[in-house]
C-alpha cells in the first residue's frame, strides 16, 4: 500500500516515526507520537500505530529495552538495529584455535531483554565482586518484592543503592556490598522510607 492510500492521521503518524527514527536513531514512543499529532492520550497514538502494524507499515520491537520514560515499541520494516552485529564465532581465551567460518548476525537486544526494564549507571566500587564497576550500565527489571540473594536497586529515603539483598523481614532489610569487608546496610523500614526499584538483569560495560 502506497503512503497516499493511508488515512491522513496514519500518514502523518508514519511520517513522524520515520523522521524521528532518522534523527534520533530510535523510534518514538506513543507519548511522543501523540504529542506530535496533538492527541489527548497515548492510547490514541497506539490505535494509529496498531493500524499501521496491521498494514505492514510498522512492526513491533519485540526485544527492545524500555529506557525510563521512553518505551521503544515500534520499528520500521526493513530497518536493522545498530545492535544487530556480525557474529564471527568462538574465540579461544586459552590455547589458540582455528577461526570458525560464520556468516551470521547476533541481535544484542535479546541479551538486554527484560520485562519492564530500566537502565541505571553504577557509581562507586562497592559491588566489584559482583562484577559491577564504576560507570557500568545496569539493566534493572522492575520488581517491588525481589527474592533474597539477588542484586537489587533500592530507594532508601531520597537516595538509591545497588546492593545484594541478604534478608528482608516486616521490620527491616539487610543489604550487603560485594567488596571485601565493607559493612552491610541494616535498614529499619519503619524509620526510613524504603522501596525496591528492581532486580539486576544485565551489566553493560564500555572498555
Whether the per-residue pLDDT at 63 is higher than 90: the answer is no
CATH code for the domain of 142: 2.10.109.10
Q: Are residues 127 and 151 in contact, defined by beta-carbon separation less than 8 angstroms?
A: yes
Q: Is 185 a domain residue? A: yes
52 and 126 co-located in one domain: no
CATH code for the domain of 16: 1.10.10.10
Note the pLDDT tens digit of each residue in 108-125: 767 776 667 788 999 999
- The residue-averaged pLDDT of 125-150 equals 93
Q: Is the pTM of this model over 0.75?
A: no
Confidence of residue 22 (pLDDT cuts 50, 70, 90): confident
Q: Is 83 a domain residue? A: no
Note the pLDDT tens digit of each residue in 38-62: 988 888 888 888 888 888 888 776 5
- Output the CA–CA distances (angstroms, integers) from residue 147 to 138, 160, 165, 168, 183, in the order listed: 18, 19, 8, 9, 21
Distance CA 75, CA 61 (A): 6
Entry field: residues in the chain: 207
- Output the CA–CA distances (angstroms, integers) from residue 63 to 24, 76, 104, 106, 112, in the order listed: 19, 14, 18, 13, 8
pLDDT of residue 55: 86
- The residue-averaged pLDDT of 70-87 equals 64
- Domain boundary (46, 75, 104) is at 75
Residues forming the active site: 126, 163
Whether the per-residue pLDDT at 79 is higher than 70: the answer is no
- Domain boundary (25, 46, 75) is at 75
Largest CA distance in the chain: 67
Q: Is 108 a domain residue? A: no
Distance of CA 136 to the CA centre of its chain: 14
Show the 3-state SS of 3-61. Answer: HHHCCHHHHHHHHHHHHHHHHHCCCCCHHHHHHHHCCCCHHHHHHHHHHHHHCCCCEEC
Q: What's the domain range around 41?
A: 3-75
Q: What total number of domains does the chain contain? A: 2
128 and 200 co-located in one domain: yes
133 and 196 co-located in one domain: yes
Amino acid at each position: 500500500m502506497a503512503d497516499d492510500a493511508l488515512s491522513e492521521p496514519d500518514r502523518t503518524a508514519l511520517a513522524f516515526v520515520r523522521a524521528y527514527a532518522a534523527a534520533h536513531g530510535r523510534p518514538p514512543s506513543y507519548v511522543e507520537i501523540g504529542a506530535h499529532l496533538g492527541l489527548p492520550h497515548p492510547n490514541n497514538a497506539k490505535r494509529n500505530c496498531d493500524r499501521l502494524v496491521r498494514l505492514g507499515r510498522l512492526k513491533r520491537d519485540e526485544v527492545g529495552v524500555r529506557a525510563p520514560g521512553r518505551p521503544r515499541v515500534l520499528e520500521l520494516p526493513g530497518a536493522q538495529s545498530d545492535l544487530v552485529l556480525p557474529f564471527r564465532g568462538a574465540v579461544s581465551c586459552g590455547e589458540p584455535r582455528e577461526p570458525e567460518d560464520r556468516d551470521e548476525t547476533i541481535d544484542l537486544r535479546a541479551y538486554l531483554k527484560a520485562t519492564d526494564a530500566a537502565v541505571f549507571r553504577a557509581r562507586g566500587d562497592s559491588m566489584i565482586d559482583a562484577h559491577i564497576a564504576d560507570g557500568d550500565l545496569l539493566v534493572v527489571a522492575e520488581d517491588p518484592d525481589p527474592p533474597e540473594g539477588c542484586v537489587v536497586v533500592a530507594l532508601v529515603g531520597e537516595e538509591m543503592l545497588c546492593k545484594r539483598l541478604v534478608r528482608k523481614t516486616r521490620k527491616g532489610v539487610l543489604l550487603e556490598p560485594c567488596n571485601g569487608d565493607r559493612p552491610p546496610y541494616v535498614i529499619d523500614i519503619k524509620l526510613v522510607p524504603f522501596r525496591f526499584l528492581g532486580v539486576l538483569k544485565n551489566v553493560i560495560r564500555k572498555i
